[in-house]
Structure 1
Amino acid sequence: MDDQHNRIQTRLAEIVEATKLTGAGRLQEATDMIQRGLFGRQTPSASGQTIDASYRIESSGETAKPMGSAGIIPEGLQERLRDALGQVARKFNLPGNSGLSPTGLQGSGLQGSAFEAFDPTSFFRDGTAKGPPAGDGTFTERAFSNAAGSRDYKLYIPSRTVAQPPLIVMLHGCTQSPDDFAAGTAMNQLADAEGFIVAYPGQSMRAHGQRCWNWYQPGDQTRGAGEAEIIAGLTRAVMSEHNVDPRRVYIAGLSAGGAAAANIALAYPELYAAVGVHSGLAAGCAGDISSALTTMRLGPSTPVGVAQAQAARVPTIMVHGESDTTVNPRNGEHVLIQAGVEALNPSTSEGVSPGGLAFTRTRYADETDRVVVESWVVRGLGHAWSGGDPSGSHTDRRGPDASRAMVDFFLAHRLDRPRY
């Protein structure tokens, strides 16, 4: 039953993503996705990109219509989409199993339709933030742009800072916003207590319809281009404007944000002194949407990016829930492998959080007895920020405090210390 549910979730995510790719004009990727999601095959065509024998998208010299234009999805394909969504609704008693009319898919940008009700992220959505998080400092909206692109972000300057404050860059998960992520992690309150600055880049809906960071796209994973270069440039801009200590700059994220943080830290090891990956994935573990969905569900088949990581080890803290059904806990294990734990000395302790969730904490030390990798595996925790504030989404207040653990780990690392 769980396997069937996972397969349906994956197929549904593929269908929804395909409609977004089509609206963005990425026809070949959309066609491949629809074929895999609906028909389980690909049928190449010499004259166009074929969805199947009945539905063809001719892309030579054409530009796709905007998502709000009628007819962007062929009528026959709409029928298959409605059938698939209706089956999911009836099988799992999900909301939205009514109103699956043709007009719900035509001419409306898919808003208010079955696709909105069947948003795949709702399988792990936990709520939304009601407003800006508490804190005694200033929380302002900013914008950044460079040759790679632009993103808005929120910046928290605590009420108390030191002469050269540390900086933590926080990358939210899918469907989240900077306000939401700040509320759920309560990182601004820790910033007030410890005197560091926090930057919360916000993913644009133009870049991804569910505000996911594009961690699985090769153009956004590596140095000098895409979202990796945007976040690195944003980091440098904040450092320059606020006289941040260049030795104490850190990056962390949840889910898609955790995977993006892993990519960015590996691409810019001279910029970030440590990285935190919560419910995320190893750098470079996927190269397209299909492999991303598979890796999220099953974990990587083999360790990825280990050779590249060995050239510039970045101290890493990983937090993952054993009950995470959105990002398989095996992904957390591969984050640790990529961080080089096989060559380090582990020390493990067991505990129970004040909220009643048992956890295993493992600290990995180098030959000088310096802890350079840390792991928190929390039993009973799903796809949620451990110990987070329920005013933010994707949180579980019962778990150990992941924010406190990350801050403690980060502040123990500086770039002037040798890499291990």
Structure 2
Amino acid sequence: MGEVARLTKAGRLAEAMALLRRNAPVKNGPMPDAVLGGLGGKGAGKVTPEALQAFLGRFGKLAPHPHLGGLPGSLRSPVPLPDGARFEERTFSNGRASLGYKLYIPSTYKAQSSVPLVVMLHGCTQSPDDFAAGTRMNALAEEQIFLVAYPGQSQTANVSKCWNWFRAEDQQRGQGEPALIEGVTRQVMGDFSVDPKRVYVAGLSAGGAAAAIMGAAYPDLYAAVGVHSGLACGAAADLPSAFAAMRQGGAVSAAGVPGARSPQCTVPTIVFHGDNDTTVHRVNGDQVIVQAKGATPLRQTVGRGVSSGGMAYTRTVQSDESGHPVLEQWILHGAGHAWSGGSSDGSYTDPRGPDASREMLRFFSDVRMPSTL
């Protein structure tokens, strides 16, 4: 475990993951005391699923990159609010559990007109404030007039505040974390003037995996999905398969996804993924696109460019018969595990890259919930 910790601290996450997987039990089998101590468990030679889950949360943290501008910790300082804007702390409860969240209401919001809603799901170790600062989504909400909800995972649910994307019970419509995130979304829709055809969900890393789950489980709620450095819905169903999926992709398909749209109906999705991501392998971004596409025939165009910060990228757009883009994938060359084009005011961002927040909003702006699914 000391070697795993050393490799992780050094940023050599692929090697650390491989070493951990060679020693990981399938369920509650015996483990060396050194491993048990590293997991924070108690007892001799045994480890509980909860302790393993806690370790997965720590191991799945967003990895700092030598060229990243984001802090390897928490929010540097609060981002000041424009006059008239609000960033409220709120809570949703469904009687079984509750979920705190923050809601950004731009100064330009007027209740007389319906506006879009974007639900943002943070990565491991992050908070709503941190994620808002790093993605600069609130500033864009001021500019383009929409609401932004930031559900916040608690340390009670996961020690590193990761969304539990790898648990089967948290991949189902009407259950677990998806039910709570849906509840937050519908609460905001009920309390504010939100256009029900323009509700979107996006996330980073564990939050990206959770966003993919929300799009698959609630196709009648979210018009489109943004996944940054995440995994497809159903990429894992337990801890061992989570390790495997992060390293080499999961066994996923459009068929059998809980709550998914018909295989003939594409879920509009935009994906960002660095090809030097050692925490979540880039193949997972490919799998998100394959799963979202289903069996829909689309026309593909590929373009390449360089961001103003000097990062090269490949952008692939898949369009329907009318030429309307429905899938978009950005491969960020040389990028690691961080929000592209983000602000160093938040953690785990890469300011060099294309502006993922603005590009996601551009993609979302052309998508409306269809009248029939």
Name the SS for the 1:339 alignment partner: helix
Give the 5 Å matches for 1:19-418: 38=23, 50-51=29-30, 72-74=42-44, 119-121=58-60, 124-125=63-64, 126-136=72-82, 137-161=85-109, 163-300=113-250, 302-306=251-255, 308=257, 309=260, 311=262, 312-340=265-293, 343-416=297-370
Whether contact under 8 Å (2:90, 2:102) holds in the other structure is yes
CA distance in 1, matches of 2:228, 2:74: 19
Relative contact order higher in (CA < 8 Å, ≥ 6 apart): 2
The amino acid that maps onto 1:368 is S
Distance apart, 1:73 and its partner CA: 3.0
Task: Note the alpha carbon deviations across 1:77-104, whole angstroms, 9 max, x for none.
Answer: 79xxxxxxxxxxxxxxxxxxxxxxxxxx
The amino acid that maps onto 1:387 is G
Name the SS for the 1:247 alignment partner: strand
Task: Note the alpha carbon deviations across 1:116-160, whole angstroms, 9 max, x for none.
Answer: 9x9535670433212333442211111111145211101000011
Choose between structure 1 and 2: higher helix proportion. Answer: 1
TM-score by length of 2: 0.83
Distance apart, 1:187 and its partner CA: 0.1
Name the SS for the 1:333 alignment partner: helix
Task: Note the alpha carbon deviations across 1:240-269, whole angstroms, 9 max, x for none.
Answer: 100211110000000000000100111010
Distance apart, 1:54 and its partner CA: 10
Distance apart, 1:354 and its partner CA: 0.5
Name the SS for the 1:154 alignment partner: strand
CA distance in 1, matches of 2:107, 2:33: 63
Count of aligned pairs: 339
TM-score by length of 1: 0.74
Name the SS for the 1:320 alignment partner: strand
Distance apart, 1:367 and its partner CA: 1.3
| Cα distance change on mapping 1:331 and 1:185 into 2, 3 Å | same
Distance apart, 1:418 and its partner CA: 6.0
The amino acid that maps onto 1:286 is A
Distance apart, 1:343 and its partner CA: 2.3
Select the structure of larger CA radius of gyration: 1
Distance apart, 1:37 and its partner CA: 5.6
The amino acid that maps onto 1:157 is I
| Cα distance change on mapping 1:150 and 1:7 into 2, 3 Å | same
Structure 1 stretch 312-321 or stretch 345-354: which is displaced more? Answer: 312-321
Percent of pairs with identical residues: 48
| Cα distance change on mapping 1:417 and 1:350 into 2, 3 Å | farther
Give the equivalent residue in structure 2 for 1:89: none
Whether contact under 8 Å (1:310, 1:340) holds in the other structure is no
Whether contact under 8 Å (1:133, 1:188) holds in the other structure is no
| Cα distance change on mapping 1:160 and 1:54 into 2, 3 Å | closer
The amino acid that maps onto 1:314 is V
Task: Note the alpha carbon deviations across 1:162-186, whole angstroms, 9 max, x for none.
Answer: 5101100000000000000000000
Distance apart, 1:7 and its partner CA: 3.9
CA distance in 1, matches of 2:95, 2:187: 14
The amino acid that maps onto 1:356 is G
| Cα distance change on mapping 1:365 and 1:307 into 2, 3 Å | farther
Name the SS for the 2:270 alignment partner: strand
Whether contact under 8 Å (2:252, 2:291) holds in the other structure is yes
